[in-house]
Amino acid sequence: MAYRGVLIGCGFFARNHMAAWADIADVDIVAVIDRDPARAEAYARDFGIPRWGSDAEALLAEVRPVFVDIATTVASHRALVELAARHARLVICQKPFAETLEDATAMVAACAAQGVQLAVHENFRWQRPIREVKALLDQGAIGTPRWLRLSFRHGYDIYANQPYLAEVRDLALTDIGLHLFDMVRHLMGDAVRLSCEVQRRNPQVAGFDAFHAVLRHGSGAVSSVECSFHSQRSPDPFPQSLLVVEGDSGTIEVTEGFRLRLHRPGGVEERDVEPPCPVWGARPWHLIQESVAAFQAQLPAALSGGAEMEPSGAHNLQTLAMVIAAIRAGDTGETVTL
């Protein structure tokens, strides 16, 4: 018996969710919902889904899914997660999880009260290069990690597919910063304090489209996290995150063109960590699309009593707290204790 799921939010990015669910044999999306019924209908037609509509409450009660995948923009998340928690055993919520810690904490509590698993769709830590770096760190390939630089700088026109981003004040921190902070926590452990400088680089957008944060981790390690949506490079590395991690006995680098280099006293090993392009995917998005598939592939095990999907809503509270702290640090120049 396949796990019956419902997707809410039939916009730009959820097409990747739908294509990835179709590749998982144990999953059956039985209904799609959008507040705009024409969008839901188009998804139902394109992906062969039997039920569609705009009334989430009624449709969830009717189809009784095992899980709900919420792919709407952030302002709708709390109400939809609280609704889904009354109808399913597992809820997935796209990032940004919430605009405030109050909303995020309420969603975690609503799911916990019903015994429902809650995961946040933080797919960047599931990108193939990051999976490979994490495995090397866990194997002790460079000893204890002491310093990291994570950099997401490009000039790709993100506003063409996501025009709403041009109006967001803390754009770089809330759109990509939280992915980067989740990746850094995943690789280096939790941070205890941070400072952050923000910039508005593109005069056509309303908000801060660049930031540079410096983190101190509980382990004593230090990380530099950078993001810019207005950097001219040729070829443009979008959507790759470039990375260097230095440990006591070696260094790992991920450079443009998906090259991973492991530097150790005996020399350098280099390998290709480019993910395959899903049949439904397209370059340069294949890095993101394959990570969506890897994130969603956790679901059958999570529903059959195995490990919970990562990261959970509870885990994501600290990532959201870091974004909120970085916004404050950018506004005031303070170093914020987490």
CB contact at 8 A, 11 and 72? yes
Please, what is the minimum distance in Å from the beta carbon of residue 264 to ligand NAD?
33
Q: How far is CA 196 from the centre of its chain?
A: 21
Residue 85 and residue 110 in contact, taking contact as beta carbons nearer than 8 Å: yes
Residue closer to ligand NAD (CB basis): 94 or 319:
94
Please state the closest distance from residue 184 (CB atom) to ligand NAD, in A. Answer: 16
Choose, by CB under 6 A, the member of 6, 7, 8, 227 that binds ligand NAD: 8
Asked if residue 185 binds ligand NAD (CB under 6 A), the reply is: no
- Of 2, 23, 26, 36, which one interacts with ligand NAD (CB under 6 A)? 36
- CB atoms closer than 10 angstroms to residue 179: 23
Interaction between residue 37 and ligand NAD (CB under 6 A)? no
Output the smallest distance, CB 39 to ligand NAD, in A. 5
CA-to-CA distance for 242 and 149, rounded, in angstroms? 8
Q: Please report the DSSP string for 240-256 in residue order.
A: PPEEEEEETTEEEEEET
CA 167 to chain CA mean position, Å: 21
Among 78, 95, 125, 186, interactor with ligand NAD by CB under 6 A: 95
Among 118, 171, 288, 325, binds ligand NAD (CB under 6 A): 288
Rounded-to-integer distance, Cα 267 and Cα 22, Å: 43
Beta carbons of 174 and 249 less than 8 angstroms apart: no
CA distance 181 to 325: 12
> Strand, coil or helix: what is 201?
coil
Q: Is 221 in the site for ligand NAD (CB under 6 A)?
A: no
Question: Does residue number 123 form part of the binding site for ligand NAD (CB under 6 A)?
Answer: yes
Q: Pick from 17, 72, 152, 171: which binds ligand NAD (CB under 6 A)?
A: 72
β-strand partners of 242: 151
Question: Is 76 one of the binding residues for ligand NAD (CB under 6 A)?
Answer: yes
- Give the span between the Cα atoms of 269 and 104, in whole angstroms: 42
Taking CB under 6 A as the criterion, the residue among 4, 22, 24, 35 binding ligand NAD is 35
298 binds ligand NAD (CB under 6 A): no
Q: Which C-beta is closer to ligand NAD: that of 116 or that of 158? A: 158
Residues that bind ligand NAD (CB under 6 A): 8-14, 33-36, 39, 56, 71-74, 76, 80, 94-95, 121, 123, 162, 288
